[in-house]
Copies of this chain bind each other. A is one copy, B any other.
């Protein structure tokens, strides 16, 4: 395995240092470099904090900024941040309106964010949203129930806009729970990933195979299948999501095609084209789109498709200004 790194022990810290230096107008390190936070916090606003293992970049650090997260805590590769990191982020970003923790549904993340919430409870009001957007997992691998995958970006964008609009902590928590019923994701991998520490591939695929329903830690999915055309692969994914999400003809859909790290942007746009056409052929309305490499699994080749059913309120939150390293629109965007 060839990776640009100096040692497995220091790779996360060095990558974070590069990120903060490259985006110093947007973000800064929190105390003791335990987390990355918005350079300018907004007093009176509920603080949004997320985090998880490294290896999913630009999530979550790339979502820190106006209209999205106030802080992101990064653990080691595919390893939850510690409660200590999360408590430090709560202490530094809560300006009195409380903290909303956005957690992907993996056992390690859930446990450490819960522990942090308990440790910080005496001094802070805290609510937690646990994201569960994967159509596939149903308890496999590292999670109880559906995993939190690329749909986490959508949850963080919508809740970030609501927080910026002055929503209160409890209302944000309730919106987060509601969003869990409106967002579904399914992924496909063309190649397993190798974790830097272990030098072991999560799974090995033949030249003509793909893994459907893969997770963002390279967990095997629900089925191994013969590789096929983009039309067929995307069609299968969209059908599986639609079966689960049950969008109506009146729903307005966000279609989000997300690269896992090793897939070129040209293929993502081609997949988006196929997804849009497939949705339209089902009589569904594609109202918004996002295409890019946002929620990754190291350099895994593959992509996920997320569909979200948005009503007027969610559409306005999606369109609201955002100014982060990875996502930026509707605002006077910061020079990097």
Contact = CB atoms under 8 A, between A and B. Distances in A.
Q: A interface, how many residues as a size bin?
A: 35 or more
Interface in A262-289: 262-274, 276, 289
28 contacts: A2-B190, A2-B207, A2-B227, A4-B230, A4-B234, A4-B267, A4-B268, A4-B303, A5-B230, A6-B270, A6-B274, A7-B229, A11-B266, A18-B269, A18-B271, A18-B276, A19-B291, A22-B290, A54-B266, A55-B264, A261-B265, A263-B299, A264-B298, A265-B296, A266-B298, A299-B301, A330-B332, A333-B333
Interface of A: 1-7, 11-12, 14-19, 21-22, 54-55, 57-58, 62, 190-191, 207-208, 210, 227, 229-231, 233-234, 261-274, 276, 289-291, 293, 296, 298-299, 301, 303, 319, 328-336
A268 B21 CA distance: 13
Contact of A15 (B270, B293, B329, B336): B270
The main secondary structure of chain A at its interface with chain B is mixed
Contacts of A58: 265
Given A18-B272, A273-B21, A289-B21, A267 B331 contact: no
A14 B335 contact: no
A57 B11 contact: no
A240 to B, nearest CB: 17
Contacts of A207: 1-2
Given A58-B265, A265-B293, A290-B336, 10 more contacts: A2-B190, A5-B267, A6-B229, A14-B274, A16-B269, A21-B289, A55-B264, A262-B262, A262-B264, A329-B334
Contact of A264 (B19, B210, B261, B334): B261
A234 B267 CA distance: 29
A319 B55 CA distance: 30
A57 B264 contact: yes
A244 B4 CA distance: 24
A15 B267 contact: yes
Contacts of A17: 273
Contacts of A273: 14-15, 17-18, 21
